[in-house]
Each structure stands twice: as structure tokens, then as C-alpha cells.
Homo-oligomer: A and B are copies of this chain.
Amino acid sequence: MHEQRAETARLNLRCVWAGMNVTLKDVALRAGVSRSAVSRTFTDGASVSAKMRQKVERAARELGYHPNALASSLTTGRTKLIGLISNNFHNPIFLQVFDLFTRGLQERGLRPLLVNLSDETDPEKSVRMVRQYSVDGVIVASSTLSPDFAKAFKEAGIPVVHSFGRHTTSPKVHVVGIDNVECGRMAARALMECGYTDVGFLGGPESATSTQDRYTGFTTEIARHSGIKLRYSFAKAYSFDAGRDEMTRLLKDQSAMAQAYFCGDDVLTIGALSALQKAGKKVPDDVGLIGLNDMEMARWENIDLTTIHQPIAQIVSSSIELVVSMLEEPDRYPEARLFPCRVVRRGTLPIV
């Protein structure tokens, strides 16, 4: 007995020294109890007596034991890993998005496994990558990624939520985001309230569903009012350069210019703004602009963008809530959760 304890102690010492993982068995040995007892001490809701818990916790503390979440996942089937999948690593708003997601998931004891799909085009392949780590669920956070990605996860039997995804009346997967069509209408109304009679849509890439929806909303709202001239064009990307380039192109022909523009997003708006300033145009006196997102920078006084605020905190927390609920109820009927946006009036549209 004494012999064995000495051996155990020596072993433990070595473990700590080498940074090796102290296991359940080590703790059981030291506490003089069964491995199940140790396991139960660290599983809440399990039946353990007070003395037992005390003994085990003491031994665990002395050895610096921490349960191995991955090993337990083998039997429980839960890794508490959530795939956080995005291709949006250039829009500053996504830094806030990642911040909110990581904090929100952490608070619920979940861990985000970050996946960058920037140069990935094959949904199957990305599913394979993520599946290897048997995540409990997946959040696809992107407005530019094809819905096929989210669908691929669903088909693989992995709970999935598409954040910032496209709203459809009968979604195949859970979608949380905004109503881009309504945003388009909202922008149109905001411009018309300013008295503009010649307005432009300066969208993001034409292939993005968000661009298409905003375009639809914008044009239908304009069409409801007579005597408003509508122009439109699309930038190559949701980026500063694309916005600047497209506006520069428009500026080449004065007759092609509208009085005010609804731009694809804030970054693109700043690009357009830059082009206008360079051409000697005053904003909002000569040309008005309204963006979309209300990213942190938009309120910076020397940028001061009028824009449509997207409630990202709510979108994120709702997405997390939804993916968590799916852990219990995997076949939950897909729903679309849309949050209302609002116009934030700053310096790129005139005060009415």
C-alpha cells in the first residue's frame, strides 16, 4: 500500500513536470476511488456523495487535473465545438461579428472553431473539413456565401444557422439577418424625403443575393412614386476600391450622375465618397450618399456616414440561441428571423 502510494506520487510528479495530461485514472488512484466516481464528480447532475466529491476534488486539485472534453465527447456525442464559418475577412463589421460570436458562444460553454472559406468554392469540401472535428453545430456567417454551403451542412446532418444570409419565404435552413428588400425600400424613402428626383443605386457585386434584394426593394419603392429618375450600377465587390472605381467611372460623364446614391455597404460608400471628394464634389451639397451596415467607423466624425443600421448584436445572439436550441432539437423546422434596420442620419445626406 505504502509502496503503491509512493509510486503514484512519483508518477504524478513526473506528470506535472513533463506537462503531461493528468487523467481520470491518476485522480482515481490518488483518491483511492473508482474512475467512475471521478467522472461523476465532474459531470453535473450525477449522483455523488459529499465526502466522495471532497476526496476527489482534493486529489484533482493536487494533481492539477482537468477533464478532457474531447475524450468525453466520444461517449456523449457532444464536443461543444461550433464551426464558425465565414469568408468575410475584409469588412470591418465582421470583426465585431467575430467578437460577438466568440463571447456569446463562450458564455454558453461552447467553443468556436473558425473556418475561413475565402478561397473555397466547394461546399462538399468544406463540410468534410468541418466534419472531421465533429462539431455540434455550424454557424455560417456571411452575406456573400452561397446558400448551398449552409444547405450542405444540413444535408450532412449538422445543425446549421445561416447568419447574415438571404431571407426566403420557405427557408431550407435557419436564416438570421435582415430584410434586404426592405432595406432597399428604406433607402429609397430616405433619399426621396430629401427631395431628390434623380437617385442612383450603387450596389455591391451583382451576383450577391444581398445586392439583388436591395436593388429590388430600392427600385420598387422608387417606382411607387412618379417623376423620380432611377439609375443603377454595380461595383465589383463590397470594398473601398470597388466603390471608388465605380464612382470614378460615373463621374466621367456628368449626365450619368444622379443627385444621390444608395451604396452597397459602408466600405463601398467611403470609396465612393473618396472619389467624389477627389473630383471636387461636396457631400452632401453636390451629391448625397447613404450606406448600409453602420459599422463602427461610420460614426467617426471625419467619416460621418448616413447609413442604414444593421442590428448585428441581435443577429448574432439570435443565431447563437438558434444553434443552441438545435442541439436539443435537431430537426426543428427551419425559420427565418429578420431584424428591423433603421436609418442613421449623419453627414452624407442633407438635413430635411
Residues of A within 8 A of B (CB): 18-21, 66-71, 73-74, 79, 81, 84, 89-92, 94-96, 98-99, 102-103, 106, 111-116, 118-119, 128-129, 131-134, 156-158, 240, 244, 270-271, 273-274, 277-278, 296-297, 300-302
Contact = CB atoms under 8 A, between A and B. Distances in A.
A273 to B, nearest CB: 6
Contacts of A91: 95
Contacts of A119: 103
A132 B69 contact: yes
Nearest to A103: B116
A269 to B, nearest CB: 11
Nearest to A153: B19
Contact of A111 (B70, B113, B277): B113
A192 B62 CA distance: 59
A172 to B, nearest CB: 15
A16 to B, nearest CB: 9
A341 B21 CA distance: 41
Given A21-B134, A112-B113, A113-B114, 5 more contacts: A70-B134, A71-B74, A99-B118, A103-B118, A111-B133
Contacts of A132: 66-69
B301 A114 contact: no
A300 B240 contact: yes
A128 B278 contact: no
A297 B84 CA distance: 26
A207 to B, nearest CB: 21
A240 B274 CA distance: 20
Given A19-B158, A66-B128, A98 B74 contact: no
Contacts of A116: 99, 102-103, 106
B98 A89 contact: yes
Contacts of A115: 102, 106, 111
B92 A131 contact: no
A348 to B, nearest CB: 12
Contacts of A118: 99, 103
Contacts of A68: 132, 134
Contacts of A278: 301
Name the residue in A96, A118, A132 with the highest tally of chain B Cβ atoms < 10 Å from its Cβ: A132
